């Protein structure tokens, strides 16, 4: 471990040459490999103890691997954020000399790191997407260098959204390399406390403060001129790119707030005095955060169903949640969405790796052996668009077939004179591996198994036949948590019921399930039982002969719907629950704002929504509409919208009243939607901050 | 623009128009120089808050009417900051615990301690104590009520508490026993009509007796609502026609529609449509309990005599479910589904 050189500010950058011999070859060391960074070494412990030594290292220091670390550097290590380290030997700790054969890299490395694309042409991303990102980066780099054209000052933050393994980070790195930008990456520090709050007395800063420091330093400090061993200097004055791939734990409230503040401050800096930032938001990461936060949310939600808790929003975690609204909505922030990689592209990427490994030229598309081709196809189909997962699977599948590594130290790409070993891989083995890994059902697959509740033909005259899908197995293999799945079942079950008796029995089970799930407060197995009650209850009720309520409507397995469509083709819906919840919260806030601003000021403070909405609002809206001019512009329209659910019989006068007020005073809200309909998306935005 | 209901609120005990016996008692209490803790309860719109305000005025004089709204930040044990708004005068402070959510205990404790530890400084005041008015006291969590119990005794010298709630059911017994219970019943229809006439006279409008009767009946003896209805009707059409329809809130019409569609056909498809309507009502902040009650009452009114107990039973069952569960829509829908099933079965059995 002592071989590893650590520097205070590191650039994961890269010389454009593909084979920089014994240099710090950071281009190969893909920065995603947090695993490599997590290793605690014995001297790190010692370093932390010496944290009080004088400040940072001299900017220039040749990375002599065996040299003892000076104290300055130790300090830099122990109480600064751990920036990405340039590595003398990527993953080759055990190799004695820096001149070790490149081939030995492979022992410790995964293929997805090793064979990460080096050029934009190799990226498994749609070329239009690459062009978009490249365009943004060029503009941003120009702006940072002070030679940007008009409007390029807005290129401050780029958000790349997408599922895991869709090539977001790789795309940024490859393009940065091609554009000659140094990438400064934020890596979450390992040995710090979670928050500043917990130990305010200590002067050790928490993650959030460190993030701010990181941003400040990235702006202030010039790129360190690292002098590589062969004496070649890096090109001076290269632009930099701040990459935030490893987002701080924003599930933690204090950290989240400081993170947002730091970003807000960052946006406020003019472009030419700073560097552009790329934030990579991975969706699976996000889902996890939501779950962590869920306990707290549930407690609040339970307590007061109609309270105006502005922070409780049950939207899906996305870039919207990671970035503050003021940043995300500002012109300084652009978003580019990456989609999951299509199976054909995954297969192409896998073939490329196989070709590289077998020593062929990846550009020429030689045929693979049929078995291998089948395995590649199977992996590509099963990886759900996660390229990284696909490559790992491939490596795993081939692990047994490959000969022992390290015996032929030729160049990496020319290694392996035995293509047969690769091609002879057993396709069945790869597929089998895929099966083992694929523990989760696709959401709609699971839903379909439950909703159709198919039964095998009855053996005896009296029985109903066995369920083809075992409910327990479905629940075991859910892609989401049980509560969410329950909502999906609830949203869709009515389409599959044919008689009110069936619907009532199923609905009762759903009600039971919700009551059960609420009682456990997240502890114990209550939610498991609840899901079982809901799913099994529905599956039992569906098509039950005793619930069919007479012979008029016999429950049959597949029946056309009323409008003639076959039920078998029915599309599942997403639960309306979340949208409704969000709407209710928005209405609640709006109501409170209006009430506090309007005539009911004192009443509004004295009464909860549960009385304000049903008892006062409808009348108040009418009075306000009649005297519209006395309230603020637009108020009557907003009130009328709040008061009138749907298009009740009384809605017409409201439209008229609203229209008259609108004519008098043009109001953006009313102009957007003159009907007293539920609030539109843009209205909610106005009040949610 | 002050609403009539605020504008014509009686400010003193003398001006209160009904519950004369109660008024006399309150007058004596306020005049006696001391005041016990009070627990004022009664249905909404009966005049609880009006009476509390009048008592405050009786005790402290017009100074108690100079209200201001202030904001304060409380910090919870988990270091969350809560912004709570108060209404206060020099002599009293009003708090609504539902603003504080699950942290009401913190708010109540902090607030009461702070008030109790400061002596009354206004020299004009003859009283040594300040008053804390807690609205919606039945929304107080159990923790908060227990916190209240201690502080009620401890700081009796400097402070009195007036709790205001719709029923005593959710107030724990120890708190009840430390308070003087004051019941404010809903006004009778005639009393509501009287008040409407009184307000109309002050506003210089004439309300035909038939309209006043309709309004009073439509308000369900909720005076607050009756006055709002009067003003809404006035804004909508004046002079009043004798047959002028009473303005009802949109959501009530909407729940009526829901009930009607449940009665018109009983299929899963219809239930699907009803679910959309239920979502719509819920999105407008109407509490699920209110929705269930409105729908159930409409249904009970429409169905056959023999079915009524069963529908009521189901309504009660799902009301309980609403209290225990989290997702209101599931329970509301289950109630409608159950109703459909029962209704259809009954219809088939009788035909």
**Higher local confidence (pLDDT), A205 or A609:** A609
Number of C-beta neighbours around residue B157 at 10 A: 9
Q: What is the mean pLDDT of residues A488-493?
A: 89
Same domain? For A261 and A158 the reply is: yes
pTM check: above 0.95 = no
Place of tokens 């605020």: B6
Contact flag A643-B284 (C-beta cutoff 8 Å) = yes
For residue A25, is pLDDT > 80?
Answer: no
- CA nearest to B96 within chain A: A606
Residue A77 lies in a domain: yes
Place of tokens 């309990």: B289
Strand order in the sheet with A333-337: A182-186, A240-244, A277-282, A157-162, A333-337
pLDDT band for A507, please (50, 70, 90 cuts): very high
Residue A42 lies in a domain: yes
> Mind listing the pLDDT tens digit for each residue in A239-280?
778 888 777 766 666 777 777 778 888 877 777 777 788 888
First-residue to last-residue Cα distance in chain A: 49
- pLDDT, position A40: 43
Question: Which residues in A lie closer than 8 A to residue B280 (C-beta atoms)?
Answer: 645-646, 678
Domain-terminating residue out of A403, A421, A437: A437
For residue B189, is pLDDT > 60?
Answer: yes
- pLDDT, position B320: 92
pLDDT band for A462, please (50, 70, 90 cuts): low
Residues near B286 by Cβ (< 8 Å), separated by ≥ 6? A613, A614, A645, B251
For residue A412, is pLDDT > 60?
Answer: no
Query: What mean pLDDT, rounded, does chain B reach?
Result: 86
- pLDDT, position A202: 44
Nearest to A686 by CA among A673, A668, A659: A668
Same domain? For A562 and A581 the reply is: no
Percentage of chain B beyond pLDDT 70 is 97
Phi, psi (deg, nearest 5) at residue A53: -75, 160
Q: Which of A181-185, A397-401, B35-39, B312-316 has the lowest mean pLDDT?
A: A397-401
The helix/strand/coil state of B72 is strand
Residue A231 lies in a domain: no
**Peptide bond between residue B239 and the one before it cis (omega within 30 degrees of 0):** yes
Contact flag B321-A515 (C-beta cutoff 8 Å) = yes
> Mind listing the pLDDT tens digit for each residue in B122-142?
555 566 788 889 888 888 888
- pLDDT, position A444: 81
Overall size of chain B counted in residues: 351
Same domain? For A143 and A82 the reply is: no
Size of interface A-B (CB pairs under 8 A): 242
- pLDDT, position A250: 65
Same domain? For A421 and A464 the reply is: no
Nearest to A294 by CA among A511, A479, A476, A527: A527
> Mind listing the pLDDT tens digit for each residue in A292-316?
444 444 333 333 333 333 333 333 3
Domain-terminating residue out of A297, A321, A337: A337
CB A168 within 8 A of CB A280: yes
CB B163 within 8 A of CB B193: no
Q: Which of A142-156, B3-17, B179-193 has the lowest mean pLDDT?
A: A142-156
**Higher local confidence (pLDDT), B243 or B318:** B318
**Higher local confidence (pLDDT), A35 or B301:** B301
Q: What is the mean pLDDT of residues A441-452?
A: 82
Distance CA A623, CA A616 (A): 11
Strand order in the sheet with B81-88: B68-75, B81-88, B92-95, B130-134, B159-165, B38-41, B180-183
Place of tokens 């449509």: B273
Same domain? For A297 and A182 the reply is: yes
Nearest to B278 by CA among B256, B255, B311, B297: B255
Q: Nearest C-alpha of chain A: how many angstroms from B52?
A: 13
Q: Which two tokens stand for residue B73?
A: 């930040």
Query: Among B49, B284, B288, whose Cβ lies nearest the Cβ of A606?
Result: B49
Distance CA A250, CA A258 (A): 9
Distances from the Cα of A239 to the Cα of A31, A137, A304, angstroms: 19, 11, 51
Q: Nearest C-alpha of chain B: how many angstroms from A247?
A: 23
Percentage of chain A beyond pLDDT 90 is 2
Question: Which residues in B lie closer than 8 A to residue A499 (C-beta atoms)?
Answer: 268
Same domain? For A372 and A285 the reply is: no
For residue B240, is pLDDT > 60?
Answer: yes
Q: Which of A127-136, A298-307, B290-299 has the lowest mean pLDDT?
A: A298-307
- pLDDT, position A93: 37
pLDDT band for A605, please (50, 70, 90 cuts): low
Same domain? For A548 and A624 the reply is: no
Contact flag B340-A591 (C-beta cutoff 8 Å) = no
Interfacial A residues in 180-219 facing B (CB < 8 Å): 197
Residues near A141 by Cβ (< 8 Å), separated by ≥ 6? A179, A181, A239, A241, A276
**Higher local confidence (pLDDT), B304 or A7:** B304
Q: Does A487 touch chain B (CB under 8 A)?
A: yes
> Mind listing the pLDDT tens digit for each residue in A209-230?
777 777 777 666 555 544 444 4
Same domain? For A97 and A22 the reply is: yes
Distance CA B180, CA B37 (A): 6
**Higher local confidence (pLDDT), A40 or A242:** A242
Q: Does A587 touch chain B (CB under 8 A)?
A: yes
For residue A669, is pLDDT > 50?
Answer: no
For residue A543, is pLDDT > 80?
Answer: no
Phi, psi (deg, nearest 5) at residue B294: -60, -50
- pLDDT, position A48: 47
Interfacial A residues in 254-293 facing B (CB < 8 Å): 254
Residue A229 lies in a domain: no
For residue A560, is pLDDT > 70?
Answer: no
- pLDDT, position A563: 53
Q: Nearest C-alpha of chain A: how many angstroms from B25?
A: 25
First-residue to last-residue Cα distance in chain B: 58
Number of structural domains, chain A?
5
Q: Does A675 touch chain B (CB under 8 A)?
A: no
pLDDT band for B309, please (50, 70, 90 cuts): very high
Q: Nearest C-alpha of chain A: how many angstroms from B228?
A: 6
Residue A230 lies in a domain: no
Nearest to A379 by CA among A369, A394, A368: A394
Q: What is the mean pLDDT of residues A57-64?
A: 45
Domain of A598, in residue numbers: 577-688
Same domain? For A248 and A303 the reply is: yes
As to burial, measured by CB atoms within 10 angstroms (0-12 exposed, 13-18 middle, 19+ buried), residue A457 is exposed
Contact flag A599-B6 (C-beta cutoff 8 Å) = yes
Contact flag A646-B101 (C-beta cutoff 8 Å) = no
pLDDT band for B44, please (50, 70, 90 cuts): confident
- pLDDT, position B120: 60
Place of tokens 């120009």: A142
- pLDDT, position A172: 87
Q: Interface pTM (ipTM) of the complex? A: 0.79
- Element at A321 (helix H, strand E): helix A319-322
Residue A554 lies in a domain: yes
Distance CA A660, CA A484 (A): 44
**Higher local confidence (pLDDT), A287 or A396:** A396
Domain-terminating residue out of A521, A536, A569: A569
Question: Which residues in B lie closer than 8 A to residue A515 (C-beta atoms)?
Answer: 321, 324-325
- pLDDT, position A645: 58
Distances from the Cα of B178 to the Cα of A526, B37, B49, B159, angstroms: 40, 7, 20, 14
- pLDDT, position B343: 92
Q: Does A573 touch chain B (CB under 8 A)?
A: no
The helix/strand/coil state of B163 is strand
Question: Which residues in A lie closer than 8 A to residue B50 (C-beta atoms)?
Answer: none
For residue B52, is pLDDT > 70?
Answer: yes
Q: Which two tokens stand for residue A49?
A: 């103890």
Same domain? For A592 and A683 the reply is: yes
Output DSSP code: residue A4. -
Same domain? For A145 and A180 the reply is: yes
Q: Which of B285, B291, B310, B350 to probe by mutation at the A interface, max A CB count within 10 Å?
A: B285
Q: Does A623 touch chain B (CB under 8 A)?
A: yes
> Mind listing the pLDDT tens digit for each residue in A612-662?
777 777 777 777 777 654 555 555 556 666 665 554 333 433 433 443 343
The helix/strand/coil state of B132 is strand
Distance CA A487, CA A474 (A): 15
The helix/strand/coil state of A302 is helix
Number of C-beta neighbours around residue B169 at 10 A: 8
- pLDDT, position A689: 36
For residue A670, is pLDDT > 80?
Answer: no
Contact flag A514-B331 (C-beta cutoff 8 Å) = yes
Distance CA A77, CA A70 (A): 11
Number of C-beta neighbours around residue A253 at 10 A: 16
- CA nearest to A598 within chain B: B1
Residues near A95 by Cβ (< 8 Å), separated by ≥ 6? A89, A101, A104
pLDDT band for A322, please (50, 70, 90 cuts): low
Q: How many CA atoms lie within 13 A of A550 on its CB side?
A: 13
Same domain? For A599 and A677 the reply is: yes
For residue B308, is pLDDT > 90?
Answer: yes
- CA nearest to A551 within chain B: B348
């Amino acid at each position: 471990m002592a071989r590893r050189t650590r520097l205070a500010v590191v650039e994961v950058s890269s010389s454009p040459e593909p084979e920089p011999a014994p240099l710090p070859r950071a281009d190969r060391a893909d920065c995603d490999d947090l695993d490599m960074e997590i290793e605690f070494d014995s001297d790190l412990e010692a370093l932390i103890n010496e944290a009080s030594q004088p400040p940072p290292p001299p900017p220039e220091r040749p990375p002599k691997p065996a040299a003892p670390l000076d104290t300055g550097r130790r300090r830099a290590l122990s109480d600064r954020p751990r920036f990405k380290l340039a590595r003398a030997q990527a993953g080759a700790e055990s190799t004695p000399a820096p001149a070790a054969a490149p081939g030995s890299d492979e022992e410790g490395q995964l293929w997805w790191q090793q064979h990460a694309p080096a050029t934009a042409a190799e990226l498994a991303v749609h070329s239009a997407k690459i062009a978009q990102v490249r365009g943004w980066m060029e503009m941003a780099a120009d702006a940072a260098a002070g030679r940007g054209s008009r409007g390029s000052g807005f290129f401050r933050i780029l958000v790349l959204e997408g599922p895991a393994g869709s090539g977001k980070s790789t795309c940024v790195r490859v393009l940065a390399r091609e554009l000659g930008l140094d990438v400064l990456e934020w890596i979450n520090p390992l040995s710090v406390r979670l928050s500043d709050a917990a130990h305010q007395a200590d002067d050790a800063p928490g993650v959030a403060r460190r993030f701010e420091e990181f941003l400040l330093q990235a702006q202030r400090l010039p790129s360190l001129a690292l002098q590589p061993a062969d004496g070649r200097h890096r090109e001076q004055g290269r632009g930099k790119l701040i990459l935030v791939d490893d987002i701080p734990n924003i599930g933690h409230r204090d950290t989240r707030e400081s993170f947002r503040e730091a970003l807000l401050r960052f946006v406020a800096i003019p472009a030419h005095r700073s560097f552009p930032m790329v934030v990579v938001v991975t969706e699976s990461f996000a889902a996890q955060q939501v779950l962590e936060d869920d306990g707290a949310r549930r407690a609040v939600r339970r307590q007061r169903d109609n309270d105006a808790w502005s922070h409780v929003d049950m939207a899906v975690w996305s870039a919207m949640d990671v970035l503050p609204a003021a940043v995300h909505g500002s012109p300084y922030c652009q978003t580019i969405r990456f989609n999951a990689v299509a199976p054909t592209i995954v297969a192409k990427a896998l073939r490329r790796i196989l070709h590289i490994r077998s020593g062929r030229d990846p550009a020429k598309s030689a045929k693979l052996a049929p078995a291998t081709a089948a395995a590649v196809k199977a992996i590509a189909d099963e990886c759900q668009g996660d390229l990284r997962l696909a490559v790992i699977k491939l490596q795993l599948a081939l692990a047994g077939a490959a000969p022992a590594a390290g015996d032929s130290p030729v160049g990496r790409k020319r290694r392996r004179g035995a293509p047969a070993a690769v091609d002879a891989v057993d396709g069945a083995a790869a597929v089998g591996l895929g099966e083992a890994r694929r523990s989760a059902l696709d959401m709609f697959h699971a839903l379909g198994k439950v909703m159709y509740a198919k039964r095998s033909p009855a053996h005896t005259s009296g029985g109903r036949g066995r369920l083809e899908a075992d409910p327990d197995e479905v629940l075991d293999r859910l892609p989401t948590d049980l509560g969410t799945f329950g909502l999906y079942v609830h949203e869709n079950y009515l389409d599959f019921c044919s008689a009110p008796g069936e619907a009532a029995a199923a609905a009762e089970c759903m009600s039971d399930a919700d009551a059960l799930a609420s009682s456990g407060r997240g502890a114990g197995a209550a939610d498991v039982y609840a899901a079982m009650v809901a799913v099994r209850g529905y599956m039992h009720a569906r098509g039950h002969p005793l619930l069919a309520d007479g012979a008029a409507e016999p429950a049959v397995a597949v029946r056309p719907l009323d409008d003639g469509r076959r039920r078998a083709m029915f599309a599942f819906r997403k639960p309306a629950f979340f949208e409704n919840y969000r709407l209710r919260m928005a209405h609640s806030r709006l109501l409170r704002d209006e009430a506090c601003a309007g005539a009911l000021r004192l009443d509004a403070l004295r009464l909860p929504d549960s009385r304000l909405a049903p008892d006062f609002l409808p009348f108040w809206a009418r009075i306000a509409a009649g005297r519209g001019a006395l309230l603020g512009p637009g108020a009557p329209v907003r009130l009328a919208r709040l008061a009138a659910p749907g298009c009740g019989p009384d809605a017409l006068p409201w439209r008229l009243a609203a229209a008259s007020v609108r004519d008098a005073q043009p109001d953006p809200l009313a102009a957007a939607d003159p009907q007293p309909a539920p609030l539109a998306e843009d209205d909610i935005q106005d009040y949610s901050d | 623009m002050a609403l009539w209901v605020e504008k014509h609120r009686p400010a003193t005990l003398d001006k209160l128009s009904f519950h004369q016996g109660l008024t006399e008692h309150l007058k004596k209490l306020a005049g006696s120089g001391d005041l016990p803790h009070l627990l004022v309860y009664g249905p909404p719109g009966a005049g609880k808050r009006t009476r509390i305000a009048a008592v405050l005025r009786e005790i402290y004089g017009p100074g108690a009417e100079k209200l201001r709204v202030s904001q304060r930040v409380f910090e919870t044990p988990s270091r969350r900051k809560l912004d709570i708004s108060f209404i206060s005068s020099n002599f009293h402070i009003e708090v609504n615990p539902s603003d504080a959510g699950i942290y009401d205990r913190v708010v109540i404790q902090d607030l009461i301690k702070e008030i109790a530890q400061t002596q009354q400084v206004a020299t004009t005041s003859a009283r040594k104590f300040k008053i804390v008015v807690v609205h919606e006291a039945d929304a107080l969590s159990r923790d908060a009520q227990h916190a209240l119990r201690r502080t009620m005794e401890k700081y009796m010298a400097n402070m009195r508490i007036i709790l205001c709630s719709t029923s005593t059911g959710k107030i724990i017994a120890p708190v009840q026993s430390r308070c003087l219970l004051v019941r404010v019943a809903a006004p009778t229809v005639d009393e509501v009509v009287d008040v409407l006439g009184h307000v109309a006279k002050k506003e210089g409008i004439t309300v035909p007796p038939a309209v006043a009767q309709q309004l009073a009946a439509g308000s369900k003896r909720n005076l607050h609502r009756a006055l709002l209805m009067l003003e809404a009707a006035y804004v909508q059409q004046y002079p009043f026609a004798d047959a002028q329809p009473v303005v009802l809130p949109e959501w009530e019409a909407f729940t009526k529609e829901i009930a009607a569609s449940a009665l018109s056909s009983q299929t899963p498809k219809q239930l699907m449509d009803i679910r959309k309507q239920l979502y719509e009502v819920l999105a407008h902040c109407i509490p699920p309990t209110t929705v269930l009650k409105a729908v159930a009452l409409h249904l009970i009114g429409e169905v056959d005599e023999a079915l009524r107990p069963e529908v009521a039973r189901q309504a009660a069952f799902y009301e309980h479910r609403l209290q225990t569960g989290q997702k209101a829509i599931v329970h509301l829908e289950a109630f409608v589904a159950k109703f459909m099933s029962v209704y259809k079965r009954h219809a088939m059995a009788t035909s």
